[in-house]
Protein backbone atom coordinates (compact mmCIF):
# COMPACT_ATOMS: atom_id res chain seq x y z
CA UNK A 1 0.00 0.00 0.00
CA UNK A 2 1.50 3.34 -0.93
CA UNK A 3 1.74 6.21 1.51
CA UNK A 4 -0.80 8.21 -0.48
CA UNK A 5 -3.42 5.46 -0.27
CA UNK A 6 -2.80 5.13 3.47
CA UNK A 7 -3.19 8.90 3.82
CA UNK A 8 -6.48 8.86 1.92
CA UNK A 9 -7.76 6.01 4.11
CA UNK A 10 -6.80 8.01 7.21
CA UNK A 11 -8.68 11.07 5.95
CA UNK A 12 -11.81 9.01 5.23
CA UNK A 13 -11.57 7.20 8.59
CA UNK A 14 -11.11 10.49 10.45
CA UNK A 15 -14.18 11.92 8.73
CA UNK A 16 -16.11 8.85 9.91
CA UNK A 17 -14.78 9.33 13.45
CA UNK A 18 -15.82 12.98 13.47
CA UNK A 19 -19.27 12.12 12.11
CA UNK A 20 -19.76 9.39 14.73
CA UNK A 21 -18.66 11.73 17.55
CA UNK A 22 -20.95 14.60 16.56
CA UNK A 23 -23.77 13.44 18.85
CA UNK A 24 -21.63 12.44 21.84
CA UNK A 25 -22.96 14.14 24.94
CA UNK A 26 -22.85 13.32 28.62
CA UNK A 27 -26.19 12.64 30.29
CA UNK A 28 -25.01 14.76 33.21
CA UNK A 29 -22.57 17.56 32.52
CA UNK A 30 -19.74 16.63 34.88
CA UNK A 31 -16.81 17.65 32.67
CA UNK A 32 -16.35 21.03 31.01
CA UNK A 33 -14.91 19.50 27.85
CA UNK A 34 -17.39 16.65 27.40
CA UNK A 35 -17.01 13.28 25.69
CA UNK A 36 -16.97 14.75 22.17
CA UNK A 37 -13.62 16.54 22.49
CA UNK A 38 -11.24 13.58 22.50
CA UNK A 39 -12.59 11.77 19.40
CA UNK A 40 -12.74 15.08 17.53
CA UNK A 41 -9.16 15.88 18.52
CA UNK A 42 -8.01 12.44 17.35
CA UNK A 43 -9.98 12.81 14.11
CA UNK A 44 -8.36 16.19 13.47
CA UNK A 45 -4.86 14.88 14.10
CA UNK A 46 -5.48 11.80 11.97
CA UNK A 47 -6.90 13.90 9.12
CA UNK A 48 -3.89 16.24 9.28
CA UNK A 49 -1.44 13.35 9.13
CA UNK A 50 -3.43 11.70 6.32
CA UNK A 51 -3.48 14.93 4.30
CA UNK A 52 0.25 15.30 4.80
CA UNK A 53 0.78 11.78 3.40
CA UNK A 54 -1.46 12.55 0.42
CA UNK A 55 -0.05 16.00 -0.42
CA UNK A 56 3.63 15.75 0.49
CA UNK A 57 6.22 15.75 -2.27
CA UNK A 58 7.45 12.35 -3.36
CA UNK A 59 10.97 11.58 -2.17
CA UNK A 60 13.95 10.04 -3.97
CA UNK A 61 13.21 11.00 -7.56
CA UNK A 62 9.67 9.71 -7.77
CA UNK A 63 10.05 6.46 -5.84
CA UNK A 64 7.29 5.95 -3.28
CA UNK A 65 7.91 3.84 -0.21
CA UNK A 66 5.75 0.76 -0.70
CA UNK A 67 6.91 -1.73 1.92
CA UNK A 68 5.40 -1.69 5.38
CA UNK A 69 7.50 -3.53 7.98
CA UNK A 70 5.14 -6.22 9.22
CA UNK A 71 6.76 -7.09 12.55
CA UNK A 72 6.83 -3.54 14.04
CA UNK A 73 3.33 -2.85 12.71
CA UNK A 74 1.97 -6.04 14.28
CA UNK A 75 3.80 -5.26 17.54
CA UNK A 76 2.22 -1.78 17.69
CA UNK A 77 -1.23 -3.16 16.90
CA UNK A 78 -0.91 -5.83 19.59
CA UNK A 79 0.31 -3.24 22.12
CA UNK A 80 -2.69 -1.00 21.44
CA UNK A 81 -5.06 -3.98 21.76
CA UNK A 82 -3.55 -5.00 25.12
CA UNK A 83 -3.68 -1.31 26.15
CA UNK A 84 -7.42 -1.21 25.46
CA UNK A 85 -8.00 -4.43 27.40
CA UNK A 86 -5.99 -3.38 30.47
CA UNK A 87 -6.85 0.35 30.49
CA UNK A 88 -9.46 0.18 33.27
CA UNK A 89 -7.60 -2.34 35.43
CA UNK A 90 -4.16 -0.72 35.29
CA UNK A 91 -5.33 2.87 34.92
CA UNK A 92 -4.33 5.45 32.34
CA UNK A 93 -0.81 6.23 33.57
CA UNK A 94 0.41 2.66 34.07
CA UNK A 95 -1.29 1.30 30.94
CA UNK A 96 0.18 4.12 28.84
CA UNK A 97 3.67 3.57 30.22
CA UNK A 98 3.51 -0.18 29.54
CA UNK A 99 2.03 0.30 26.05
CA UNK A 100 4.86 2.65 25.15
CA UNK A 101 7.53 -0.01 25.70
CA UNK A 102 6.73 -2.26 22.69
CA UNK A 103 5.73 0.74 20.57
CA UNK A 104 8.96 2.56 21.38
CA UNK A 105 10.99 -0.59 20.68
CA UNK A 106 9.19 -1.02 17.34
CA UNK A 107 10.51 2.43 16.41
CA UNK A 108 14.08 1.53 17.40
CA UNK A 109 14.29 2.58 21.04
CA UNK A 110 15.79 0.46 23.77
CA UNK A 111 13.49 -0.93 26.44
CA UNK A 112 14.90 1.56 28.97
CA UNK A 113 14.29 4.52 26.66
CA UNK A 114 10.83 3.25 25.81
CA UNK A 115 9.89 2.71 29.46
CA UNK A 116 11.20 6.14 30.48
CA UNK A 117 9.39 7.80 27.58
CA UNK A 118 6.20 5.89 28.38
CA UNK A 119 6.33 6.83 32.05
CA UNK A 120 6.82 10.47 31.14
CA UNK A 121 4.08 10.33 28.54
CA UNK A 122 1.65 8.65 30.93
CA UNK A 123 2.30 11.15 33.74
CA UNK A 124 2.27 14.28 31.57
CA UNK A 125 -0.89 13.26 29.72
CA UNK A 126 -2.63 12.24 32.94
CA UNK A 127 -1.96 15.61 34.56
CA UNK A 128 -2.85 17.44 31.35
CA UNK A 129 -6.21 15.68 31.08
CA UNK A 130 -6.90 15.65 34.84
CA UNK A 131 -5.79 19.18 35.80
CA UNK A 132 -6.02 21.25 32.62
CA UNK A 133 -9.01 19.67 30.89
CA UNK A 134 -10.72 18.28 34.00
CA UNK A 135 -11.29 14.91 32.30
CA UNK A 136 -11.69 11.97 34.66
CA UNK A 137 -9.35 9.10 33.77
CA UNK A 138 -9.10 5.74 35.53
CA UNK A 139 -6.28 5.49 38.06
CA UNK A 140 -6.45 1.69 38.31
CA UNK A 141 -3.82 -0.04 40.42
CA UNK A 142 -2.04 3.20 41.26
CA UNK A 143 -5.02 4.32 43.32
CA UNK A 144 -4.61 1.18 45.46
CA UNK A 145 -0.88 1.74 45.85
CA UNK A 146 -1.29 5.43 46.70
CA UNK A 147 -4.07 4.83 49.22
CA UNK A 148 -7.04 5.82 47.08
CA UNK A 149 -10.34 4.00 46.68
CB 35 within 8 A of CB 102: no
Closest CA to 118 of 140, 106, 101: 101
Which of 30, 46, 68 is at the close of a domain? 68
pTM: 0.56
Structural domain boundaries enclosing 88: 69-149
Mean pLDDT, range 90-101, rounded to an integer: 90
Instruction: Please write down the HEC assignment for all residues of the chain.
Output: CCHHHHHHHHHHHHHHHHHHHCCCCCCCCCCCCCCCHHHHHHHHHHHHHHHHHHHCCCCCCCCCCCCCCHHHHHHHHHHHHHHHHHHHHHCHHHHHHHHHHHHHHHCCCCHHHHHHHHHHHHHHHHHHHHHHCCCCCCCCHHHHHCCCC
pLDDT digits (tens, 9 = 90+) for 9-57: 888 888 888 888 887 776 666 666 666 777 888 888 888 888 888 887 6
pLDDT at 127: 87
pLDDT digits (tens, 9 = 90+) for 108-142: 889 899 999 999 999 998 888 888 877 778 888 77
The residue out of 31, 49, 68 marking a domain boundary is 68
Average pLDDT over residues 90-99: 90
- Are residue 81 and residue 54 in the same domain, yes or no? no
Regarding whether 143 and 125 lie in a shared domain, the answer is yes
> Among residues of the chain, what percentage have pLDDT more than 90?
10
Give yes or no: residues 146 and 79 share one domain.
yes
Amino acid sequence: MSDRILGAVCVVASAGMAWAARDYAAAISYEPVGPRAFPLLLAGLMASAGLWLVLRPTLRGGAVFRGVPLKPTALCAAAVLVYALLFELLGFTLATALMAVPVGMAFGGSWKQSLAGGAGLGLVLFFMFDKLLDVVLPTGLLSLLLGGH
